[in-house]
Amino acid sequence: MLYPGKRSTGKKSRHMMRTIAFVSCLFLSTLFTWAAASAAPSPGAIGAAQIDEVLVQAHVAAGGTRLDGYAAMTQSGSFVQDGGPSNSFESVVDLRNGYSRIQLVVGPATFLQGYDGTQWGQENGVLAIVSLPSLVADAVTQAYLSSYAFFRRDQASTFKSGREENVDGQPAYVLHAEPLGGSPADLYFDASFYRLVKVVAQTAQGTDTTTNSDFQVVQGVTVPMRSVDVNASGTTSVTTLKTIQFSTGLEPSAIARPSYVSHGTLAAPVSIPFVSDLVGGLGHIVVPVSLNDKPATLVFDSGGANFLVPDAAKSLGLQASGGIATGGAGTQQQMTAYAHVASVDFGGARLSDQNFVVTPLGYPLLHPRKDVTIEGLIGFEYLANFRVSVRYADRQIDLAPFDEPAPSGGVTLPFKADGAHAYVLATVDNVSGYYLLDTGNAGSIVLTTPFVKEHHLFPKGGSIYRSPGGVGGGYSETHATAKTFAFAGQTYHDVPVSIPQVTSGFFATRGVAGNLGSGFLSRFSVVFDYKAQTVTFVPNRNVAMPFRVDRIGWSVGQDDSGAFEVRQVVPGSPAAEAGIATGDRITAFAGNQVAGGFGLGDLSPYSTGRAPFTVTVKRAGVDKTVRLTPRNLLPPSQ
């Protein structure tokens, strides 16, 4: 995830497979039916007998034994997100167990994914699986819904409660289901026809609501030909069915996983130097790459994937099309297109036939420091095709075939995946959880809001900053101090952490403890081995270095080349004492004019350092130069 991190006192998004996986749930889990009218319920809770009666009536309405006789359901149609371009899909689901396979076409990109007891996906030839526990639970519930499992008598215990409620002014029965090993969901059956008119699922990413309409009879089963889904970030997805067919048999090949297709070639191991976009420290990993034999400057982002900004795609002569919503660190989602790239060359490691996401990024990510301009990302696709070693202390990335001898030493940890990215266990204040390994986060340790709340960490809060974020926009975050952080054989004391105050986006994901960025990972050489599903951490000479933290007490962003903008000031901090206020524009720092091409990465050594420096502040057209004396602002551990 491309994410500014602490350098601005503040992530490319989740890999697209996770976004697409959510979309598939739309049309695999919302095909339900109607029955003859019945008496409307009165308000209030309903008991087990009435829950059972609702399910009996809904089953009859769905076709009863006719539905039970079908083994599979195939569909095709289109989906549109947030009013963007129309995309197409074809899918098949085994009604006996919820196993499925779906093909989606977004512009030039074709995705395959499915469920066979494990959720899998294929993009750019790579076959990846989902093993992160909270996402596994979501996949279990998706299969439960798409196979009509709630009609089976052996699933009666999955319904924990029921109630009567109005949906758009019409009475409905709401049954709360908790599938074994799955995420909870509320199923809304209208009281007149027993159609499943709405599903509200509590997914790992938050509350997801699907509303069904345009019910039609197909082969004795009534299905909604239109579904509207709104996810936790507010993205609206409209799915329209063009065809649907039920069948009594299903060939295993129809839902089989595709074979892994390697698009990578590497004649011999290579070592590629990188630069940081953070002056005096290690932030994002900036590397030279060739796309269709044309040079580009990209960030190597283990939390991201193939990605370009629109101007870069245009300058490279690439045509972007299609449209789908992408989420990231912030609470918003934004539309992305796709462009096809025939070849990608990273220091001699080549990928062919690649699709790149094309969507904007904010100014501070694209212009992080003087003479550095970022045009996009690479990440997952290289990790999936080669063993990748990030030697932070040497500022080198090594790529080798998976069958080459692995580096020796260090601590090797197995990882869980969200379908693309690696999550490993770490412990903060004696509480363990899964952390995304994210070289695209220029910060250090970021904890998710649900994890902090669930384990009652940092009850006294901390200092409030404003992060510009990445994909998905900015947000407020709390800076606190952990007593301990234990990871890969190392234990750190009095460790600074940040906690985004968000209700959607990556940092609101249930079942994820947080994110480890370059400010933390740079204490190691990090060896990603996606074939073995492991990551090895070899301590380097910086393993015990102090954490870089803000010592001024400001949140600073940048929207153009003329100035830095003050987004927030911590009360009682050096910035506040110098009279700096929210809304001020910093036009010069330490004798450097911002308009000379400087970015937030150039400011970082001063705001995280110890030496006094001056800044020139413009407010209401008037310039004023003030002196700032950095000092420790970390709150005590709790």
Q: Can you give the pLDDT at residue 470? A: 58
The winner for highest mean pLDDT among 42-56, 332-346, 603-617 is: 603-617
Q: What radius of gyration do the chain's Cα atoms show? A: 26
Question: Are residues 341 and 329 in contact, defined by beta-carbon separation less than 8 angstroms?
Answer: no
Instruction: State the burial class of residue 524 (Cβ atoms within 10 Å of its Cβ: 0-12, 13-18, 19+).
Output: buried
Q: Can you give the pLDDT at residue 338? A: 95
**Residues 466-480, mean pLDDT to the nearest whole number:** 77
549 vs 332: which has the higher pLDDT: 549
**Residues 419-425, mean pLDDT to the nearest whole number:** 96
Question: Are residues 53 and 307 in contact, defined by beta-carbon separation less than 8 angstroms?
Answer: no
pLDDT confidence bin for 9, thresholds 50/70/90: very low
pLDDT confidence bin for 623, thresholds 50/70/90: very high
pLDDT confidence bin for 261, thresholds 50/70/90: confident
Q: Can you give the pLDDT at residue 546? A: 94
For residue 17, is pLDDT > 70?
no
Q: What kind and span of H or E run contains 89?
A: strand 87-94
For residues 299 and 235, give the distance between their C-alpha atoms in angstroms, rounded to a whole number.
27
For residue 198, is pLDDT > 90?
yes
Q: Is 602 helix (H, G, I), strand (E, B) or coil?
A: helix
Question: Distances in Å between the alpha carbon of 450 and those of 9, 118, 204, 471, 499?
Answer: 22, 25, 10, 20, 10
DSSP state of 372: B
Residue appearing with tokens 């283990």: 302
For residues 46 and 35, give the distance between their C-alpha atoms in angstroms, rounded to a whole number.
20
Which DSSP string do the residues of 586-633 spell out, in sequence order? EEEETTEEGGGT--HHHHHHHHTSSS-EEEEEEETTEEEEEEE-----
Residue appearing with tokens 């050096």: 574
**Residues 521-545, mean pLDDT to the nearest whole number:** 97
Contact partners, residue 311, CB within 8 Å, separation at least 6: 375
For residues 33 and 29, give the distance between their C-alpha atoms in angstroms, rounded to a whole number.
12
What domains are defined for the chain? 16-255 (2.50.20.10), 264-396 (2.40.70.10), 402-539 (2.40.70.10), 554-628 (2.30.42.10)
Q: Can you give the pLDDT at residue 321? A: 93
For residues 312 and 322, give the distance between their C-alpha atoms in angstroms, rounded to a whole number.
17
Predicted confidence (pLDDT) per residue in 153-173, tens digit: 999 999 999 999 998 889 999
**Residues 472-481, mean pLDDT to the nearest whole number:** 84
Q: Can you give the pLDDT at residue 174? A: 97
For residue 294, is pLDDT > 50?
yes
Max Cα-Cα span within the chain: 80
For residues 511 and 73, give the distance between their C-alpha atoms in angstroms, rounded to a whole number.
32
Question: Are residues 129 and 120 in contact, defined by beta-carbon separation less than 8 angstroms?
Answer: yes
For residue 340, is pLDDT > 90?
yes
**Residues 477-493, mean pLDDT to the nearest whole number:** 97
pLDDT confidence bin for 334, thresholds 50/70/90: confident
Phi, psi of 615 (to 5 degrees): -135, 150
Contact partners, residue 113, CB within 8 Å, separation at least 6: 17, 20, 21, 24, 101, 102, 104, 119, 120, 121, 122
pLDDT confidence bin for 5, thresholds 50/70/90: low
Q: Can you give the pLDDT at residue 8? A: 34
**Residues 79-85, mean pLDDT to the nearest whole number:** 92
**Residues 75-99, mean pLDDT to the nearest whole number:** 95
User: In angstroms, how far is CA 160 from the centroid of its own chain?
Assistant: 31
Q: Is 464 helix (H, G, I), strand (E, B) or coil?
A: strand
Q: Can you give the pLDDT at residue 496? A: 97
Predicted confidence (pLDDT) per residue in 560-604, tens digit: 999 999 999 999 999 999 999 999 999 999 999 999 999 999 999
Q: Can you give the pLDDT at residue 250? A: 97
pLDDT confidence bin for 13, thresholds 50/70/90: very low
Provide the mean pLDDT of the chain.
91
For residue 51, is pLDDT > 50?
yes
For residues 378 and 289, give the distance between their C-alpha atoms in angstroms, rounded to a whole number.
9
Percent of residues, the chain, with pLDDT higher than 70 = 91
DSSP state of 563: -
For residue 24, is pLDDT > 60?
no
